[in-house]
Structure 1
Amino acid sequence: MTRRLFSAAPGAVIGVTMLLLALAPHVSAAENAPTAPGDHEEMLQFGGMARSFIVHVPSGFDPHRKTPVVIMLHGRGGSGARVENQTGWDALADRENFLAVFPDATPQSPDQPPNFRTNPRQWNWSSGNGGGAGKQVDDVGFIAALIDLLESSYGADPARVYVTGFSNGGSISWVLGAELTSRIAAIAPVSGELWSKPLKLTGAMPTLFIIGTADPLNPLAGGSATSPWGNAQNHAPVEDTLSGWRDALGCTGEPRTVRDSGGLHDVLWNKCAHGEFEYVTVEGQGHVWPGAQVALPHIFGNSTNLLDATSTIWTFFKAHPKHE
């Protein structure tokens, strides 16, 4: 395993590669190359902070070929390592041969250790203005710098960079799709509403949005919801998210029903100026990544096995590379 510290300048390593001999004294330097299969814990110096992320290199990785990349953004209180374990993106990356990347958001108090209840990590979806960490953090800029690094140091294909996220990570996915349109091929927010409106797109941004019908933290009908941190927050109806993003995409007409069975309702707007918009609801699903087998407090609601969100999103992403 390697741990490196990069600067925000593409490909510039400002720290030395450190072999974690205490954990794996038998590992050779060649096996610690960044293109070796498995997880690589990395740091990126950006905005005055060392930002952490995990890059999972697939078992069939070819450093001489451009490789698709999926950036998975965790929810509030989570971490890249935890969401990697919960969603199965690493195992799917091995089967489908893409890079799976799991960055960490910053805690509310960045100078203190993260803690789920008292100092949760969370994404700032407003490019440094509200909605995220207590310290004003430019997470849009961080993800842009991360994409630079992945392209320069891991051979990520600029035409196949995809972003998905859950809850708070889903909310910033919408903003990344709008502000980094030239860098991202498609997005797939899960259980995260679009808080920042209006957003304007300058190019195509095919989008898949998934949410459970029984999500207690993002209720479909809107209204007040109490978070795991005890604060009540008023949510707009999910239809506001849908209409706001349809406006950004320039969609017209009624959606076409793709599926309405097995607890899944899937509709598609494909008459859009900036890419199609697919919307899936999962019957009885709470505020949990669909298909994840995790034990969470009752405040998050139920988990179902009606949909494997990870494989569903990857199928959508594969069909939507960026076209110049």
Structure 2
Amino acid sequence: MPSTVQRRALRSTVAGLGALATILAATVPAVAAAPSAAPAGHPAGKGGACVRTLDAGTSTLGVAFEGETYDVRVHVPDAPDHRALPLVLDLHGSNNNATLQAQISGLEQVADAEDVIVATPTGDLAFEHTLPDGNWAWNVPDVPLTSGTFPPADARDDVAFLRAVVDQVDGAGCVDDRRVYATGFSGGGRMASALACEASDVFAAIAPVAGLRAGRPDPADLSRPEAGTCEPENPVAVMTFHGTADQVNPYQGNGDPRWGYTTQLAAHEWADINDCRVGPRSVAVSDEVTRYAWTKCDEHADVVLYEVADAGHTWPGSDLDMGPLGRTTQDIDATALMWDFFSSHQRRG
């Protein structure tokens, strides 16, 4: 985790929220390892023996995609090279980057404790660069950017790119393909949601923070998802966390075509998609946190929503001061809860 000096630097460099998003400037150490090309793929987790060639610790893997090579931050635990491990994609928010996302989520500490590989890739849509590793966003399918404009027609297909990340981390890292998961913060949460909609053959579960969607908002009625924009082939388990005082992606929804309908409706939609037959059942976790759960779902693909009263656009349990984004609850630890959820769900077939 960051030192006290680094935390103070993070707090002192938080920029204003702006119209729809904030810039979090950080003095976080860059990944030291030089980029390496992904080696020829191993059958890791695909029915044959595998050998992990990625070193333990944090390094950079060069992921080849459509004639370009993209550096992806990868953290590998110190585990036997022949044992297939779970993989979690950790997706940064809009106007942010992988280095800072790793600090926000703390998933790399979970990786070491639980023998998990964490890959933290970077979006390809650039903002004005004010962070040491740049400011980037994801190309969420058919959804505008925070500017209100759509990505250019030749923008990278990020659903296809993130499939490539999984495949190439698998080839170098020996991944159990039944246990591949995605989380993300804000715009990264919206991207993780799109992966569940469009790549359910890859991902067993997702856990967006402040960004769950169930298809794009209907342009004719932003208060609901557009029919046909989230039809996964397989059930995907869903856990999400959201503050009721979030001003960027409001819990109660808004009239922004990149956000639209409420977080509660998004969770309900996923419960319908997964054919959950019980719920929602609510439990007061603390004075400010309520847990809603839908169960008895197809292939045990449960849906869970943690509603955090008066919390902002923040990651529950993170010890980083996210400044103008609002209050961060310490009543729950989103990272620990999502790993417990992931570890109890795996893709079937």
TM > 0.5 fold call: yes
CA offset at residue 68 of structure 1?
0.8
CA contact (8 A) 1:282 1:306 kept: no
CA contact (8 A) 1:47 1:138 kept: no
| Aligned twin of 2:7 | none
Which sits farther off after the overlay, 71-80 or 246-255? 246-255
User: Secondary structure at the residue paired with 1:235?
Assistant: coil
| Aligned twin of 1:171 | 190
CA offset at residue 104 of structure 1?
0.5
Which of the numbers 176, 184, 189 marks the counterpart of 1:157? 176
CA offset at residue 139 of structure 1?
0.3
CA offset at residue 82 of structure 1?
1.0
Write the mapping of 1:37-186 to structure 2, written as runs, cut at 5 A: 37-58=56-77, 60-108=78-126, 114-115=129-130, 120-126=135-141, 129-131=142-144, 133-134=151-152, 135-186=154-205
Deviations 1:75-132 (CA, angstroms, capped at 9, x unpaired): 01111111112221111111111111110011337xxx8446xx83111121xx4535
Structure 1 residues 157 and 79 mapped into 2: Cα distance closer, same or farther (>3 Å)? same
Deviations 1:167-216 (CA, angstroms, capped at 9, x unpaired): 00000111101211111111111100415243112112111011112111
Question: In structure 1, how many angstroms separate the alpha carbons of the residues matched to 2:99 and 2:70?
Answer: 14
CA offset at residue 233 of structure 1?
7.2
2:35 is matched by which residue type in structure 1? R
Question: In structure 2, how many angstroms separate the alpha carbons of the residues matched to 1:234 and 1:281?
Answer: 17
CA contact (8 A) 2:244 2:252 kept: no
CA contact (8 A) 1:246 1:277 kept: yes
Structure 1 residues 114 and 4 mapped into 2: Cα distance closer, same or farther (>3 Å)? farther
Question: In structure 2, how many angstroms separate the alpha carbons of the residues matched to 1:289 and 1:41?
Answer: 25
Where does structure 1 lack aligned partners over 5 or more consecutive residues?
A: 12-32, 226-231
| Aligned twin of 2:211 | 192
Question: In structure 2, how many angstroms separate the alpha carbons of the residues matched to 1:270 and 1:306?
Answer: 24
Task: State the number of aligned residues.
Answer: 288
CA contact (8 A) 1:130 1:136 kept: no
Question: In structure 2, how many angstroms separate the alpha carbons of the residues matched to 1:234 and 1:174?
Answer: 12
CA offset at residue 252 of structure 1?
3.9
CA offset at residue 51 of structure 1?
1.9
- Aligned CA RMSD, in angstroms, stands at 2.6
Scaled by the length of structure 2, the TM-score of the pair is 0.75
CA contact (8 A) 2:243 2:310 kept: yes
Q: Percent identity?
A: 28
| Aligned twin of 2:240 | 209
